[in-house]
Amino acid sequence: MLLKIPQNSYLLFTPGPLTTTPTVRSAMLRDWCTWDDDYNSLVRQMRLALARLGTSRPEDFACVPMQGSGTFAVESVIGSVIPRANAKLLVLSNGAYGERIAQIADILGISFVKESCEETRPCDAARLDEILAADEEVTHVAVVHCETTTGILNDVKGIGAVVKKHKKIYIVDAMSSFGGIPMDMEELGIDFLVSSANKCIQGVPGFGFVLARRSELELCRWHSRSLSLDLYDQWVEMEKNGKWRFTSPTHVVRAFIQALRELDEEGGVEARNRRYRDNQQTLSAGMRELGFEPLLDASVQSPIITSFLYPKGRDFSFAEFYEAMKADGYVLYPGKTSKADTFRIGSIGDVHRKDIEGLLLAVKRFAER
């Protein structure tokens, strides 16, 4: 019996999973064999395309996909890159995902120190310089580029300059920014960058990926604290024949390859960044007019997701607001900050200015009830 596949009943204004195109979704309608050369050839092409997206020197970097959510890929880096002895990780944290990196290190028994920053301010490169000058045991530094707790952008270029000044290994969680904000790992000094299929490249959930400097990745043998999340072994296997060590998320990979093609058709990362920025600026201006103030100053606001403060002077229930928006066809995100009542609205995925304007009309209807 052929089942009728329902169309989307709402748009996802979230930081991932996000709204995908019908062509990305339809790419999953064919089955693939993980041993087949046709499929593994696609995987090789995907890895090369991602390296080219991430750096002007793709020959010096390797792309290593890793099954699971983005956090699986982050854990594969933290658990595989940092040696078992004579190593120490410094985590710069101004949100939940910086905290998650520290939690991973703690659970894996990795020596680490955490520098906690204000949630509404970028982590300070000058402060990092002081810490590294005082603590010579630190060997690796990790930071989140776009901290979706608030939507803030950290200064990965300034931080990277300090990390390289002190000759440390630089790890960047670019989960929510890669593919939506132009970046060059070589220029920024990044040694390991982590992202996921279901973010700015606009694929579906199922795997993350790591872009790694080959000269550093080659040193990671025997470091891993996990069998399935061993980044080095996954890389070695893929370099041999393009095959994943364990069952590949074949349908997700095929959807992601279609998403990469559509990124190229849109005009690349620069063009997508312009659309995302237009989405975010249109959203922010419209929400202000309706009485919802952004949490962050515009100078540090990413084009990925925006946190809005609960409106002052009136009773506001996010649960009621959420259900009203969902009924109108728009799914939002609850807040995650520790010091303010907020909710979040994403501006990435297959959403455009007309969709932002439709959302704003729905918010206006709710506010006028």
pLDDT value at position 167?
98
**Residue 242 DSSP code:** S
Contacts of 89 (CB under 8 A, 6+ apart): 78, 82, 105, 110, 111, 112, 113, 138, 139, 140, 141, 142
Q: Which residue has the higher pLDDT, 7 or 172?
A: 172
pLDDT value at position 150?
96
Q: Please list, residue by residue across 176-191, b when 16 or more beta carbons sit within 10 angstroms of its beta carbon and e when fewer do.
A: bbbbbbebebeebbbb
pLDDT value at position 198?
97
The pLDDT tens digits of the residues spanning 93-109 come to: 999 999 999 999 999 99
Mean pLDDT of all residues in 297-321: 93
Assess whether pLDDT exceeds 70 at residue 180: yes
Mean pLDDT of all residues in 306-334: 93
What are the domain boundaries of the chain? 23-264, 268-367
Assess whether pLDDT exceeds 70 at residue 33: yes
Q: How confident is the model at residue 217 (pLDDT cuts 50, 70, 90)?
A: very high
pLDDT value at position 337?
82
Q: How confident is the model at residue 1 (pLDDT cuts 50, 70, 90)?
A: very low
pLDDT value at position 4?
57
Q: E strands along the chain, which residues?
A: 11-12, 61-67, 89-93, 112-116, 140-144, 146-147, 152-153, 169-173, 192-196, 207-213, 305-309, 330-331, 333-334, 342-346
Look at domain 23-264 and name its CATH class.
alpha beta
Assess whether pLDDT exceeds 90 at residue 7: no
Mean pLDDT of all residues in 197-225: 98
Q: Are 301 and 147 in contact (CB under 8 A)?
A: no
Phi then psi dihedrals of residue 79, to 5 deg? -80, -15
Q: What percent of the chain has pLDDT over 90?
A: 91
Phi then psi dihedrals of residue 341, to 5 deg? -85, 115
Q: What percent of the chain has pLDDT over 70?
A: 98
Assess whether pLDDT exceeds 50 at residue 302: yes
Angle at 48 between CA 44 and CA 52, to 5 degrees: 170
Weakest-pLDDT range from 205-219, 273-287, 336-350: 336-350
Q: Which residues on neighbouring strands pair with residue 309, listed in sequence order?
A: 342
**DSSP per position, 286-336:** HHHHTT--BSS-GGGB-SSEEEEEPPTTS---HHHHHHHHHHTTEE-EE--
Mean pLDDT of all residues in 43-58: 96
pLDDT value at position 339?
82
Enter the pTM of the model. Answer: 0.96
pLDDT value at position 44?
94
CATH of 268-367, one of 3.30.930.10, 3.20.190.10, 3.90.1150.10, 3.40.50.150: 3.90.1150.10
Assess whether pLDDT exceeds 60 at residue 3: no
What is the C-alpha to C-alpha distance for residues 324 and 135, in angstroms, rounded to an integer?
52
Assess whether pLDDT exceeds 80 at residue 2: no
In the block, which residue shows the tokens 């470091």?
Answer: 223
pLDDT value at position 62?
98
Query: For residue 184, which amino acid is it?
Result: D
Assess whether pLDDT exceeds 50 at residue 61: yes
